[in-house]
Amino acid sequence: MEKKLAPRGEASLALNGRQVAIGDATNLLELARREGVYIPSFCYHSHLSVYGACRLCLVEVEGMGMVTSCTTSPRPDMVVRTMTDRLRQVRRHIVELMLAGHDRECTTCSKSGSCKLQQLAQDMGIEEVPGEHMPPPRRVDTSSPAIVRNMSKCVLCGDCVRVCREIQGIGVLDFAHRGPRMQVGPAFDKDLAEVDCVNCGQCCAVCPTGALSVRNHVDEVWRAINDPDSIVVVQLAPAVRVALAEEFGALTGEDQTGRIVAALRRVGFDHVFDTALAADLTAIEETHELMERMSQQGALPLFTSCCPAWVQYAEQYHPDLLPHLSTCRSPQQMFGALAKTYFAEKQGYDAKRIFVVSVMPCTAKKSEARRDEFSTDDVADVDVVVSTVEMARMIREAGLQLGELEPEAVDMPLGLATGAGVIFGATGGVTEAVLRTVAGLKGEASIHPDFEKVRGMEGVKEAEINIGGTPIRAAVVSGLKAAEALVQRIKAKQADYDVVEVMACPGGCVGGGGQPTSSVSGQAKRAKGLYRLDKQLQLRSPLDNPAVEKLYREWLGETGGPRAHQLLHTQYAPRRRIRGRSIRGILQGDEKKAVDVAVCVGTGCYLRGAYNVMERLVEESDRHGLTGRVNLSATFCLEQCDNGVAMMVDGKVIGGVTPDNVWDVLQEQLGTADRQ
C-alpha cells in the first residue's frame, strides 16, 4: 500500500495506510476526523471531558490491539486502522445491543431523523434487532416546563451528566443503579421540577437520542392560529434568524430573516414582530440603571437579567446577589407586556384576544413565560414559547419550503430594530449594546461603533473601556460553571466590575438548548452571522431607533420612569424548591421576632420525609399567618438519625419530627397559645 508522507520534520503516524501529521490533536478520534475519517461515537464531545464509555470509537493500533480512539493520544510512528472487519463487527454488535434495550418507537420520537442511534443503525445496515421483546417502558418525566425526560430512549452515553456538571456546574443528573437497571436521572429518581434544574436545555442539546428533549408546545400554537377569536402575534428572537434555516439545508450562520418572516405569515400568524426591538429597549433601560448606580454608589456590579436560566440560578444559589441583578425584564417579556398594552391600544384590539407566541433559541424561556410576575390578572404576557426547532417543524408541517419563499419585512411598529438589538444573540452582545448606548448618551457613538474586546466565544472576557471620560469595567461570561467561578472571585474581592453579562449557554443564545444541534464552531458561525447583519444595518445604536423613541414619547414616558418601570422591569426573590414548588423567599420577617428553623435533609432524614416536613411547615405558616416569624432553611445531619426527621429550632435540635406533628412542635417552640 502506498504511504503518503507528512511534511518533513513533523511528527506523524500511519492512519489507514496514509502518513498524517499529528499536529495539535489530543486524541486519535480528533486526528482521524481532522483527516476526513469519521469514527462513530456517542459519548465524545470536544468541549466535555473524555469518557470512553460507548466504545463505538474503537480503532486498532499495531502493538496495542483495540483501543478507544477518544482516550488514546497519538504518538509518532503509530499504525492505526479504523475500518477492519473486526472493528466493523464489534461496532455493529454495540449498536445492536443499544437497540435491544431501547424504545424503538422511532416514528413518533422527537429526535426521529436526527437521532444518532437511528443514523448509525442505518449506516451499518442493521435491519434486525436481537431479542424478541421490547424492553419494559420507563416512567416519562414531564414535570419540567421545558424538558421531557424519557429514559426508555437513553443509551447511557453520559453526555447530559457531563454537560450539566462540567459546563453548567449544577449536576442535577447522574448515573443510578447497576446492570440492566442502570439509568440517568436526578438523585432519588426525583422529577426535574423537584431539583435545581434551571431549564437551560444543554442536556437536550447534547443528547444523541430522544431521552432528553425540548418540551413541545406546537399544538397550542396551532390551536391559537385556528381560533377565529384570537389575534396571534409572534416575536422572532435574534439568534433564531441565523439558525432556523439550518433545518432546511442553509449554511450555518446564514441570515434568513426575510424568508423566516414570510414563512411565519404563511403559517398563519396575524402579526410578525422582532424581539430585537425589545432588546433595544432593554439596552436603554439597563444603561440608565447602570449609570444611575455608578453615579449614586448603588449596588455594583450590575448583573444582566436577560437570561432566565441565569436569573433562576442566582435566585437558587446566590440570593445575596439579587440586589445586583438588573431589574429589567428580558426582551421576551418586555415585548409581551408591550404587545398586550401599547400594541393592543394602538390597533384597537381587546388585549384578552391577543395571543403572543415567542420563537426562541432558549428552552429556559418556556419557564420564564410561566413566572407569576409576568402576568396580569392571571393572563400571561407571553402565552407560548416555541424553540427554533419547533418552529422549523411547524413550517414543514405547513408544507412550506423556506428556501423557495421571497423575503418579507417584519411588521411595524414593533419590528424596527438596530444592530445592537440583533447582537443580543451572541455572548457579549448585551454588554456591547449597553456600551453603544453609553457612547450615544455621551456623544461618542461615532467614535465607538464597535467594542471588540467583549466579543468572542471565550467563556470569560474582561474589558475596561473609557467612554467620555467614564471608565466602565465589564465582564462577559457564558456557561454557568464559568459564571459561578466569576461570582466567587467577585465575592472574594479578587475582581471588580461595573457590569457583568451572564448567559447560561456557551456562546450565548446562538448555542441555546432550543437551537438545531451544532458544534462549538457552528455556534461561532452563528455569532459571526449576527455581527455581519449588525454591520449591514443602518441603525446600530438603540438610541437611534425611531420606533423606540416613539414608544417612550407616546407610551412609556421617561427612561426608568414609573410607566417604563411598570411594563419593562420586575423584581427577583430567593427561591427554594420543595417537592417541585418554588418557594419565593425563605419566609423572612422581623428579625427580632423571627425563629430560625432548619430541617435536616441528609440521606436518613430525606428518606424519612424531610421534604414533606418542610412543605407542611410552609403551608401551615402561610395558613396561620406566621410566615413572618419563621426563617426556614435546610441543613445536613443533626445527628438524630434514629427516629423520624431531625429539626433545629433556634439552636435546639428536636428528633422524631414527622409531617403530622411538625406543626405542633413548631407551635410549642414559638410559644403560641392558640394551637388552632
Active-site choice (194, 246, 315, 368): 368
152 flagged as catalytic: no
| 600 among known catalytic residues | no
Question: Distance between CA 161 and CA 483 in Å, rounded?
Answer: 19
Q: Is 306 a catalytic residue?
A: yes
Angstrom distance (rounded) from CA 238 to CA 276: 6
Give the other-Cβ count within 10 Å of 379's Cβ.
Answer: 11
Is 444 an annotated catalytic residue? Answer: no
Catalytic (active site) residue 289: yes
* Choice among 289, 315, 615, 620 that is catalytic: 289
User: Would you state the torsion angle of the CA atoms of residues 506, 327, 343, 512, taken in this order, to the nearest 10 degrees?
Assistant: 10
Identified catalytic residue from 69, 305, 326, 478: 326
Among left, alpha and beta (phi > 0; psi -120 to 50; other), residue 465 is: beta
Active-site option among 109, 306, 362, 600: 306
Q: How far is CA 65 from the centre of its chain?
A: 41
The residue written with cell numbers 395558613 in the block is: 623
Given 286, 390, 432, 620, which residue is catalytic? 286
Task: Count Cα neighbours of 432 within 13 Å in the Cβ-side half-sphere.
Answer: 26
Point out the catalytic residue in the list 62, 292, 345, 373.
Answer: 373
Question: 111, 365, 366, 461: which is the annotated catalytic residue?
Answer: 365
Instruction: Strands of 290-415 (E only): list them.
Output: 302-303, 354-360, 375-376, 379-380, 384-387
DSSP string, 37-71: -PPP-SS--TTS-----S-TTEEEETTTEEEETTT
Among residues 622, 321, 328, 355, the alpha carbon closest in space to that of 491 is found at 321
Residues paired with 633 in a beta bridge: 598
Residue 166 bears catalytic tag: no
Handedness of CA 367, 371, 377, 378 (dihedral sign): positive
Give catalytic status of residue 397 as yes or no: no
Where are the strands (E) in 71-193, listed by range?
Answer: 79-81, 140-141, 147-150, 174-176, 183-185
**Annotated catalytic residue within 509, 605, 620, 621:** 509
Closest CA to 111 of 160, 147, 153, 164: 153
Alpha carbon distance 382, 424 (integer Å): 19
- Is 286 labeled as catalytic in the residue annotation? yes
Q: Which residues are catalytic?
A: 286, 289, 306, 326, 365, 368, 373, 509
